[in-house]
Structure 1
């Protein structure tokens, strides 16, 4: 376990935006956080198509990784202590499974455990536009304690490229777990 005893689950699902989960793993490499990765089957495909990275190279970034079908994994139990879970990106299907308690995969089971144990669950829901059913599901999850955090770029940082936008967005998500990424540009930090 990391020096500070913090474990964080990172899930990558099939929604567009696999780079967010990838960047979270990259940023956490220099942090005292033990990372536990689970990729959905659709997440694996999206990761390869959008980033050109192999699944194995991304799995290698995590301290521990689990197959999506392994419902007996450590992260599927409430007795296994974690700081919570970041689903980056979070597909609408995954969001629906979590909201209803239908744990068809390790991603939704681990998220369900995080919620029932009252730990931090951050969902980077990656869909637009949203219909009323999506919004109702988000409301239900928020009422259960999840943080709904669509990847919305911060332009006050004056990003130079997409990489800057991704890094800033993911670093803000990691703030939600009290993981401070060095060099994160903050609003009016120079004042």
Structure 2
């Protein structure tokens, strides 16, 4: 990791799809690796954080400060309707953006160039500036519109990383499944990690067999 890339950091968005743990774990890993994070959470994303992880959605900025304290970089939280925030401009330098989890509504908005909130605007800026954009959709089953929107984005160079963790590493906990998906996301971002053992490296549970 170059010093300039570390200073630029990443934009991370969380939306109303199930799977808030994917986004939270990704932020934790980026901060631990000294990447600053510019954090965007939709109103529906806050609802999922409350339902799935018991986060306090009433005190949003304070909750973020508490949850990500004591790491090697800082998570800066932006209210979702703050269209004038730094990340809304292409002149604000970042390495790229990840939306994890990404709802089908947000994915559709990005595919069609909408900018109804700061997350959508930041994604639009990421595309127009030619930066890395990674989406982690979590939905099933998928209908034709979902698939057409993903295809449209993939043809534009967006990395689509469906939240479908592999089982070959024989995970024993939900946390290991989450780490697998976060690891796949980091792979798409071009960031080295050791969150899971790759195919051919053996199972982490071989010693116990």
Normalised by the size of structure 2, how large is the TM-score? 0.85
Q: In structure 2, what is the equivalent of residue 187 of structure 1?
A: 199
Counterpart among 18, 40, 43 of residue 41 in structure 1: 43
- SS state of the match for residue 176, structure 1? helix
Q: In structure 1, what is the equivalent of residue 18 of structure 2?
A: 16
Q: Is 1:120 matched with 2:132?
A: yes
- SS state of the match for residue 101, structure 1? coil
The one-character-per-residue Cα deviations of 1:8-60 (angstroms, maximum 9, x if unpaired) are: 11100001111111111122221021111000011001111111123446522
Q: In structure 2, what is the equivalent of residue 5 of structure 1?
A: 5
Partners in 1 of 2:195 and 2:177 — Cα distance? 13
Q: In structure 1, what is the equivalent of residue 64 of structure 2?
A: 59
Aligned-CA RMSD value: 1.7
Normalised by the size of structure 1, how large is the TM-score? 0.92
Structure number with bigger Rg: 2
- For the 8 Å contact 2:12–2:98, the answer to whether it is kept is yes
Gaps of 5+ in 1: none
Counterpart among 184, 188, 192 of residue 176 in structure 1: 188
Q: In structure 2, what is the equivalent of residue 159 of structure 1?
A: 171
The one-character-per-residue Cα deviations of 1:137-190 (angstroms, maximum 9, x if unpaired) are: 111111122111111112121101111000111121012222222353111136
Structure 1's 160 and 58: CA in aligned 2 closer, same or farther, altered over 3 A? farther
